[in-house]
Amino acid sequence: MARVAVANRVTIPVQQNLILRSDEFNHASWTQIALSALNANAAVAPDGTTTADQLVEDSAASAHMLSQSVAGGLIPNGGEYAWSVFAKAGARTWLLVDSCAGLSQSWFDLANGTLGSIAGSIRPVYRTIEAASLYFSGAPAGWYRCTIAGMSFESAFPQMELRMANADLSTGYTGDGTSDLFLWRAQLAEARNWAGVPTATTTTVVDTGPIRSKP
């Protein structure tokens, strides 16, 4: 990992969050599927700012989700990468994080802060669900950082899918048009102990935020 010198400080790592518009799920960088609304800045995020977004499902029998593909060549074969997002339950209390077009799926129980099942032919190296207060002191209750990590394969089309779920192992269901959940700060990065800073149209950022050790 590259490091950069900052005046009057020890060197700190240069990180790369490969997800664009990490805090702006309503941006065109994210593909919306079967959502009736995506309300920006609808809730207080883990860092205390009102920048968390609300996803509201529509009434279709479908996956209710957001997705973003990663540009080819950004992830070399054989690297260990972590996909993560901060999430909070609304009327929907399960989140599915899919890192590879259905080949690596992990469910998270946002009501109880526990891990659900995994599915797919590419198994994660590890996965965690952690209270946001471990990263941000004073974070509002109910926020969790959901992480899935694994080895990268360029041929496996790395992406991030964030699906609302109505139960463990649910990949799609008939929505009610009103149920919701909340998301903030999506990340795909080589480091797995980084809470992250927001991205816009560029991916390279310098981490000045809180650090957590590897599990």
List the domain boundaries for the chain: 16-199
- Per-residue pLDDT band at 134 (split at 50, 70, 90): very high
Identify the three-state secondary structure at position 154: helix
Instruction: Write the DSSP symbol of residue 194.
Output: B
How many CA atoms does the CB half-sphere of 132 hold within 13 Å? Answer: 23
| Tokens encoding 86 | 């901060």
The residue ranking higher by pLDDT, 6 or 120, is 120
On the question of pLDDT at 210 being above 90, the answer is: no
The residue ranking higher by pLDDT, 208 or 18, is 18
What integer pLDDT is reported at residue 10 of this predicted model?
38
- Per-residue pLDDT band at 95 (split at 50, 70, 90): very high
On the question of pLDDT at 1 being above 70, the answer is: no
| Residues 91-112, mean pLDDT to the nearest whole number | 92
On the question of pLDDT at 142 being above 60, the answer is: yes
Question: 16-199 maps to which CATH number?
Answer: 2.60.120.260
- Judge contact between 164 and 171, C-beta under 8 A: no
Rounded Cα gap, residues 1 and 61, in angstroms: 44
On the question of pLDDT at 197 being above 70, the answer is: no
- Per-residue pLDDT band at 159 (split at 50, 70, 90): confident
- Per-residue pLDDT band at 156 (split at 50, 70, 90): low
On the question of pLDDT at 102 being above 80, the answer is: no
* Weakest-pLDDT range from 69-73, 90-94, 96-100, 115-119: 69-73
Tell me what percent of the residues of the chain surpass a pLDDT of 90.
60
Rounded Cα gap, residues 180 and 34, in angstroms: 12
